[in-house]
Amino acid sequence: MKPPFFWRSPCPVVAPRLLRPADAGGCARLHATSFAHPWPAEEFEALLADSACVGDGAGEKGEVAGFILSRRALDEAEVLTVVVDPAIRRGGCAGRLLGAHLARLAAFGVAKVFLEVEEGNAAALALYRRFGFSVEGKRKNYYARTDGGRGDALIMRRLLS
Ligand SMILES: CC(C)(COP(=O)(O)OP(=O)(O)OC[C@H]1O[C@@H](n2cnc3c(N)ncnc32)[C@H](O)[C@@H]1OP(=O)(O)O)[C@@H](O)C(=O)NCCC(=O)NCCS
């Protein structure tokens, strides 16, 4: 049996690749490891087939070790989700994905990128701040947490031009 990719390659993110609808199952499996309300594969398939959506993934073809997905509208984009396999976190995967993704969005003519992040999500907040995002506002009780409670969302923005 083929071992999991992260045993073969501890750093599968040298060159993030553009995600395709065929990656929907891998995205859904990974998403389910990290969110209280996982998105089904059908939803990822529809998003990845949508020309307004841009997805960058890490991992060999057919495997998704990490990914980031955004939707474009005119010169703005919203990051819909970003997830990295828990087994390889703190290894630079999200940083490489986000860097490549912002460059790809800029090449599409995107000038402003928005995202929402739970106020208590220290890892994600640190990642976004490191990439130049700043807090623009807050949505109260926006997120359902895995412990059954609700969490506030911070709205963050980064200018690309
Ligand atoms: C947030 C997440 C994507 C980060 O992925 P990662 O591959 O571990 O991140 P990286 O190793 O590339 O780290 C890049 C930077 O992010 C920050 N960071 C990442 N994880 C962190 C943590 N646990 N604590 C503090 N800072 C962290 C650091 O600034 C880090 O840079 P550094 O390593 O030089 O200090 C990952 O923790 C994850 O998938 N979490 C669950 C899903 C989630 O919450 N997504 C965001 C929803 S808005």
Find the length of the chain: 161
Residue spans of beta strands (DSSP E) within 85-149: 112-118, 134-144
Containing domain of residue 95, as a range? 5-159
For the four alpha carbons of 108, 123, 95 and 44, in that order, the dihedral sign comes to negative
Instruction: State how far the Cα of 115 lies from the Cα of 102, in Å rounded to an integer.
Output: 12
Q: Of 100, 113, 128, 125, which is closest to residue 160 (Cα–Cα)?
A: 113
- Of 93, 15, 26, which Cα lies nearest the Cα of 63? 26
Q: How far apart are CA 131 and CA 64, in angstroms?
A: 22
pTM, two decimal places: 0.92
Residue from 67, 89, 121 whose mutation best tests the ligand 1 pocket (most atoms within 8 A of CB):
89
- pLDDT by residue, tens only, the chain of 161 residues: 444 444 444 445 567 999 999 999 999 999 999 988 899 999 999 999 999 999 999 987 778 999 999 999 999 999 999 999 999 999 999 999 999 999 999 999 999 999 999 999 999 999 999 999 999 999 999 887 778 888 899 999 999 98
CATH of the domain at 75: 3.40.630.30
User: Which pLDDT does position 13 carry in this prediction?
Assistant: 54
Q: Whose CA is nearest to atom 15 of ligand 1?
A: 127
pLDDT at 160: 97
Give the model's pLDDT for residue 132: 98
Question: Residues of 122-145 as b/e, b for ≥16 C-beta within 10 angstroms?
Answer: eebbebbeebebeeeeeeeeebee
**Bridge partners, 73 (sequence order):** 76
What residue ranges line ligand 1, CB within 6 angstroms? Answer: 34, 82-84, 89-95, 117, 121-124, 126-127, 130
Number of domains in the chain: 1
Helices (H) and strands (E) in the chain, counts: 5, 7
